[in-house]
Amino acid sequence: MLRLVQNTPPPVALRLDDVGLCRGGRMVLDGLSLDVPAQGITAIMGPNGAGKSLSLRIMAGLIAPEAGTCTHDLSGKQDIALVFQKPVLLRRTVRANLAHALAIYGVPRAKRKARIADLLDFGRLGAIADSPARALSGGEQQRVAMVRALAAKPKLLLLDEPTASLDPQATDAIETLIRDTAAAGAAIVLVTHDRGQATRLADHIRFMHRGQLVEAAPAAQFMLAQKSPEAQAYLSGHLLL
């Protein structure tokens, strides 16, 4: 995005500052500082075990950092939504899952039916609306989880590898959902291992390694040339330990 005033820093939706977290007797997040711009899609990349999923949990307020801080001014309960790497759907139909979410988000009963229809339409879930959600394929469940999160109309949407198990068509559908949501003004954090996806969607890249931020850059610039050897090795497919 072209900025006319070069010196003002872009607005930030959320910021992790020197965050530390201990799991299994070791520091799995260690001095992690990372900002999520308020505009556009931020892709978090990094090898397995880098701490991406834990970072998202901290951003969502599900776990408190043991050191450092997570700051944002999203005060509403539903301002931040998280779609887990392995989404958990309720033991109900797809429609009932969405109805349940809307009830929790405080949508009045009279308005739910119309909202559900919109959401089913939006996620192209019409054909499976009355199937038991947990009997669906992995990709279908992912889409339901995504739409369920969107039902909250979040200002910050956190997506943990939302297309990891999806076929190209479903991936395309999810990417369209992500783009539409970003266009509607939500800030999006997208954890992905898919370089192509990051290129297609991301405006900003945050590259993590061993619980730390190694590189932060605009996406276009990052995809052309990475500054850190870790990111270079990761993107060129070298095993990174």
Contact (CB, 8 A) for 148 and 101: yes
Total of residues contacting ligand ATP (CB under 6 A): 12
Q: Which is nearer to another protein, 152 or 217 (CB)?
A: 152
Strand extents, DSSP E, 38-170: 41-45, 67-72, 80-83, 156-160
User: Residue 100 interacts with another protein (CB under 8 A)?
Assistant: yes
For residue 11, give Cα distances in angstroms to 3, 78, 117, 214.
12, 20, 34, 21
User: Residue 152 interacts with another protein (CB under 8 A)?
Assistant: yes
Q: Which is nearer to another protein, 101 or 188 (CB)?
A: 101
Contact (CB, 8 A) for 52 and 46: yes
- What tokens were used for 77? 């309960």
Of positions 7, 48, 169, 236, contacts ligand ATP by CB under 6 A: 48
107 CB neighbour count, 10 Å cutoff: 18
Minimum Å gap between C-beta 222 and another protein is: 29
What is the C-alpha separation between 146 and 158, in angstroms, rounded? 10
Residues 6+ apart with CB under 8 A from 6: none
User: Residue 135 interacts with another protein (CB under 8 A)?
Assistant: yes
Out of ligand ATP, another protein, Mg ion, none, what residue 200 binds, judged by CB under 5 to 8 A for its kind, is: none
Question: What residues numbered 37-66 form the site for Mg ion, per CB under 5 A?
Answer: 53
User: Residue 64 interacts with another protein (CB under 8 A)?
Assistant: no
The single-letter code of the amino acid at 80 is I
Question: What residues numbered 7-46 form the site for ligand ATP, per CB under 6 A?
Answer: 23-24, 28, 46
Q: Give the HSE-up count for residue 241: Cα atoms under 13 Å, Cβ half-sphere.
A: 1
What is the C-alpha separation between 6 and 3, in angstroms, rounded? 6
- The sheet carrying 67-72 orders its strands as 26-37, 12-23, 67-72
- What tokens were used for 202? 């991301």
User: Residue 212 interacts with ligand ATP (CB under 6 A)?
Assistant: no
Minimum Å gap between C-beta 12 and ligand ATP is: 22
Total of residues contacting Mg ion (CB under 5 A): 2
Q: Which is nearer to Mg ion, 119 or 157 (CB)?
A: 157
User: Residue 50 interacts with ligand ATP (CB under 6 A)?
Assistant: yes
Residues that bind another protein (CB under 8 A): 57, 60, 62, 77-78, 81-82, 84, 87-88, 90-92, 100-101, 103-105, 132, 134-135, 148, 152
Residues that bind ligand ATP (CB under 6 A): 23-24, 28, 46, 48-54, 85
